Homo-oligomer: A and B are copies of this chain.
Amino acid sequence: MDMTSSITPVRIGKTRITDPLFGAYVDMVAEKVIPYQWEALNDRIPGVEKGYCIENFRVAAGLQPGHHQGAIFQDTDLYKWLEAVAFCIEYGAGEKFVPIADEVIALMEKAQEPDGYLNTYFTIECPEKKWTNLTEGHELYGCGHLIEAAVAYYNATGKDKLLNIACRFADLVDRTFGAEDGKCHGYPGHQEIELALVKLYKVTGEKRYLNLANYFIRQRGTKPNYLLEEMKGRKGRNVFPEFAEYDDLYAQTHEKPVEQTTAVGHAVRAVYMYTAMADLARELDDQEMLRACQTLYDNITTRRMYITGGIGSSGKLERFTTDYDLPNDRMYCESCASVGLMMFSQRMGNFLEDARFYDTVERALCNTVLGGISKDADRYFYVNPLEVWPDNCLPSTSMSHVKPVRQGWFSCACCPPNIARTLASLGQYIYAQSDDSVYVNMFISSKLDTQVGDKTLGLDMQADYMNGGDVTIRVTAPENAGLTLKVRIPWYLENPMVNGEKAVTHRGYVTVPVNCDTQVVISGSVKAKFVAANRNVRADVGKVALMKGPYVYCLEQVDNGCNLASLFVSPEASISEAAPEESLPGNLPTLLVSGERLVETIATHDLYGNPAFRMERVTLKAIPYPLWCNREPGEMMVWLHARV
């Protein structure tokens, strides 16, 4: 296997998303999401529970008296916001945020302690308890998001004040943690800093940061278990009530990460860690680490992932469960977990120059991640079910975590900024580049203008495959520059042709030399079709889902009436495509299929009785899953009963 891949994502600033669907969302990040979230960080949104994020920094900076309020990890709301701001600036849509960002960065600098420590909770409330509760304290998690924001802001603006803040904190962490005698042999309760440290290494060239990330991964899972020992010392006095059920699987400390073979525990923590592991495997040429990544990736994508790219089958503690356990209504499928799955898959694809990893990037992006945000970019899902019956999403029940409609903001606001930063940096998932090639990983209409080595390459992709058209990529490059375009031919493209010839792929990519003005037309058929699940997925036995291209489709009550569970289709039924639903963004077609409604099961109004099944023919209407709950709230369903 070629381990010397030099593929990197393109710089966001070099991209412009023109796709009617994604472009609209990306534009809204700068227009609506960032300003809204800034107001939320400052507790200025009426009716939204206060988070005290900026206020905590002001208290920690000594600018006002008071206590820390809000979540122990509330600082990260600001960091994620800053990262999204940086992406918007780099994308060319965020210049107006620079003064606000600079001001808040100055505030952060004031809140930072002289040794580099930065965490408003511990600084304000209990400085003596720093690093004593790694399980729940989230200090290293916060440092990670600080680093990510700093790297992004430096990349976007060239300004280094935030980067220096991050480096000072990272240096403190490096002085505090490590295998050496006298250092703390702990590691993060919530992984995140590991992948951030790799980014910091790349932007600063400082190898200590890479080694620190590697230490955290390699130390994890060693015996005695640092986090369990730490909890024993606290004797159950937990910050978070749910940690009463803490176990070593939850935080992936049950085994050394390189020895782990199944995706377990809290889904977000898991995929953040795997992302760092993929980074480390590449940077350190660590074959053992790579094998673990491949095994974990395979376990997720062949056993533990929803058709929507959602992960985390347990609603309780937001965690993985067991192979093929994919219940459709009560799971978690957190938006953040799918963002993490995108990151992990992107790292693997770029490292191994294998387009097939982008199947997962695309699946998660086009379904769970995009579905996490409303069409007006003002409401969000944390939990992304594949089946919703609003009546039973009751508080204080097994279903209380499932919200039948997107929510305005959350006191634990991880998902909204995570979706925002992903959309704001979408170009990095669409395109990648190496010394002599540009990689087109997803067919999302967009433009790119980048340097490949010392050559400038311009690209304009018009992707009409969802509406019966082709994907046309116009490339401009210097004459005889020896550049190639590598285009991922996705699994759903039938009879793929490139410029009229049968596409021949290597690891999922077709290679096209480009010269001056080159037009690459990818054609083929992208049929709407039924998909079934592996027979071991008990929740989906005897059911089919509708897909077209990377998009999962779903039925909504507004189109199909209530009790969607009573609808049946034949897997052989023909599926027709209709015009896009007018009130929904983008131009993805609507699907129509002839099916049946079970209008009678028993002859009485009793609860149970003699079977008396009676069907009525109906036409079912399906819309893309990411667009559900943008009209009237109601039932929604992805997997339909099949008449097998």
Contact = CB atoms under 8 A, between A and B. Distances in A.
Contacts of A321: 392, 394, 397, 399
Interface in A342-387: none
B610 A531 contact: yes
Interface string A206-247: 000000000000000000000000000000000001001111
Interface string A307-327: 100000111110101110101
Contacts of A600: 535
A521 to B, nearest CB: 27
A565 B324 CA distance: 12
Given A325-B389, A396-B250, A611-B530, A641 B245 contact: no
Interface string A14-40: 000000000000000000000000000
A329 B530 CA distance: 27
Given A534-B605, A641-B541, A644-B615, A314 B397 contact: yes
Nearest to A307: B608
Nearest to A315: B398
B612 A302 contact: no
A642 interface: yes
Q: Which of A241, A389, A398, A605 has the most CB of B within 10 A?
A: A398
A214 to B, nearest CB: 29
Contacts of A539: 565
A532 B641 contact: no
A42 to B, nearest CB: 27
A506 interface: no
A128 interface: no
A314 B394 contact: yes
A372 B568 CA distance: 36
A529 interface: yes
A582 interface: no
Nearest to A612: B532
B641 A605 contact: no
A327 B247 CA distance: 28
B241 A302 contact: no
A398 B395 contact: no
B601 A532 contact: yes
Interface in A618-643: 641-643
A399 B542 contact: no
Interface residues of A, number: 74
Interface string A588-609: 0000000000111110011111
Nearest to A552: B608
Nearest to A534: B607
B571 A611 contact: yes
Contacts of A602: 532-535
Interface string A506-546: 00000000000000000000000111111111110110110
Contact of A607 (B301, B313, B391): B301
Interface in A412-433: none
A157 interface: no
A400 interface: yes
B395 A598 contact: no
A537 to B, nearest CB: 7
Q: Which of A250, A315, A608 has the most CB of B within 10 A?
A: A608
A323 B321 CA distance: 29
A303 interface: yes
A86 interface: no
A469 B447 CA distance: 81
Given A397-B319, A538-B565, A644 B643 contact: yes
A70 to B, nearest CB: 17
A305 interface: yes
Contact of A601 (B316, B535, B608, B613): B535
Contacts of A397: 313-314, 316-317, 319, 321
A68 interface: no
A605 B319 CA distance: 24
A557 interface: no
Contacts of A531: 608-611
A391 B313 CA distance: 13
A566 interface: yes
A279 B598 CA distance: 42
Given A394-B321, A613-B644, A644-B568, A606 B316 contact: no
B611 A537 contact: no
A609 to B, nearest CB: 7
Contacts of A395: 245, 247
Contacts of A610: 529-532
A319 B642 CA distance: 32
A606 B644 contact: no
Contacts of A389: 325, 538
Contacts of A325: 389, 391-392
A58 interface: no
A484 interface: no
A407 interface: no
A68 to B, nearest CB: 19
Contacts of A316: 396-398, 400
13 contacts: A245-B396, A313-B392, A323-B391, A325-B391, A327-B329, A389-B538, A530-B610, A532-B611, A532-B613, A534-B602, A534-B609, A535-B601, A542-B598
Given A246-B396, A541-B563, 15 more contacts: A241-B241, A245-B400, A314-B398, A317-B397, A325-B392, A532-B610, A534-B609, A538-B565, A539-B565, A541-B601, A542-B568, A544-B611, A545-B608, A571-B611, A613-B642
